[in-house]
Amino acid sequence: MKVTPFSSKLTLFSSQYFWRLKTNGLPLFPSYSSRLLVCRRYAHQDLRGTDLRPGILAKPPLKDTDAKSPSLAPSKSSLINVRDIPAPHCGHIRVISLNSPHNRNAFSTQLLEELERQVSNINKQALLEAKALDEGNPDTAIGSGTRVVIFASDVEHVFCAGADLKERATMSPEQVNAFLTQLRATFDMISNMPVPSISAVCGAALGGGLELALATTFRVFAPTASLGLPETRLGIIPGAGGTYRIQQLVSKPRALHMLLTGRRMSGEEAFHTNLCDRLVASPLQDEKSGDMAIHRRKEILHSAVKMAKDICEGAPASTLVLTRMFNEGASAKTEAEAYERVLRTEDRDEGLKAFREKRKPVFTGRLKKARKDLSGETEKQTTAKSKDGSKMQD
């Protein structure tokens, strides 16, 4: 087999294909160096039938292996939109909006993973702040991160339609169990994290969608909201907290009736039965057009944000310890312990000072630095020593 030298390939390539450029009336490359660069790049290829215009020829064609490369493969678009709104005093209000219109925000594996990731990040930050408050660590400011989280929807006429039953039909029993375990853990995290949460529901919240709303601290509904737990009609029962969380809000007979019949409840009825905390009436509630639906959704979110800002007007440490105390079960003992914790903050002194000066307080969430006595020991060390001494005497 005869081997053609590389220099001969360049000459043949240049004379054959750049002649075609000229005869076809296409502009030549601007310089000899550009022509040489393209010749070197394409000398090993047969370019017959290829568009040889400079802007196209300058881009090497994709190989089959490149098209299958993970780095070049199209990535999945996010099913959750996240934005932060500055909160009064410090920190922010995080709005987590479900955005999966193709299945009406139903919980697919991807949507659940994204939701768990968002909730986990908020919970970790809040637990770090709670630990700093327990230990009196002045290096960590309370309320510097997310102070209230809002769950909403960017899809018209729906908050969340429950589980993605089309995906569920393709799952093995092991995959279904893993999915349910992850769903329960995510809702438990929402319910127990020391950050107040609000669900802003304008459309349908069915099955797992209503269970998500039940897991939040507060619920803001539109009269057009449609709420239900229709699992019995599918041969199952609610499996992510719906059976016991709904009993904490409405009477047991009403809760059992909803579970057994799977009937839907309007937002107005939910308000009168204590299932929601705020009903946002709109003069446009009877309209069916898309513009009116968007307007209602914005109204509901606006009301939820206003509620969140009202919460954040309080001192960060106060909101944190109260939310945590209610999650764990309030009692005389937990109240006394929580009160001792907030006394460690500078905000307590700022609140009293602002009251005397008849002005609005400016809270920072900072903890007081431990004062040292003449021996160089902090108050905490002195208290610990005195306790140890009393034990020795006993």
**Which distant-in-sequence residues (6+ apart) come within 8 Å of 276 by Cβ?**
201, 219, 220, 221, 225, 267, 270
Contact between 357 and 341 under an 8 Å Cβ cutoff? The reply is no
What integer pLDDT is reported at residue 17 of this predicted model?
Answer: 44
Among candidates 295, 283, 344, 288, which has minimal Cα distance to 136?
A: 344
Give kind and range of the element (H or E) at residue 14. helix 6-23
How many CB atoms within 10 Å of residue 243? 16
| Tens of pLDDT, residues 140-160 | 899 999 999 999 999 999 999
| Tens of pLDDT, residues 236-252 | 999 999 999 999 999 99
Checking if the pLDDT of 2 tops 80, the result is no
**Which distant-in-sequence residues (6+ apart) come within 8 Å of 11 by Cβ?**
none
Length of the chain equals: 394
Among candidates 210, 214, 215, which has minimal Cα distance to 191?
A: 215
Angle between the 208-215 and 173-192 helix axes, to the nearest 10 degrees?
A: 30
Per the listing, tokens 């509904």 go with 221
Interval 198-224 mean pLDDT:
96
Checking if the pLDDT of 177 tops 90, the result is yes
For 368, half-sphere exposure in the C-beta direction (CA atoms, 13 angstrom radius) is: 17
| Tens of pLDDT, residues 84-139 | 999 999 999 999 999 999 999 999 999 999 999 999 999 999 999 999 999 989 98
Checking if the pLDDT of 44 tops 60, the result is no
Q: Burial of 158 by CB count in 10 Å (0-12 exposed, 13-18 middle, 19+ buried)?
A: buried
Checking if the pLDDT of 384 tops 80, the result is no
The fraction of the chain above a pLDDT of 70, given in percent, is 72
pLDDT band, very low/low/confident/very high, at 262 (cuts 50, 70, 90): very high
Contact between 365 and 90 under an 8 Å Cβ cutoff? The reply is yes
Interval 78-89 mean pLDDT:
96
What integer pLDDT is reported at residue 260 of this predicted model?
Answer: 97
| Tens of pLDDT, residues 7-28 | 444 444 444 444 444 434 444 4
Interval 350-364 mean pLDDT:
95
What are 151's two structure tokens? 């769950």
Among candidates 209, 208, 214, 207, which has minimal Cα distance to 190?
A: 214
Interval 265-279 mean pLDDT:
95
- Which of 154-168, 302-316, 340-354, 373-387 is the least confident region? 373-387
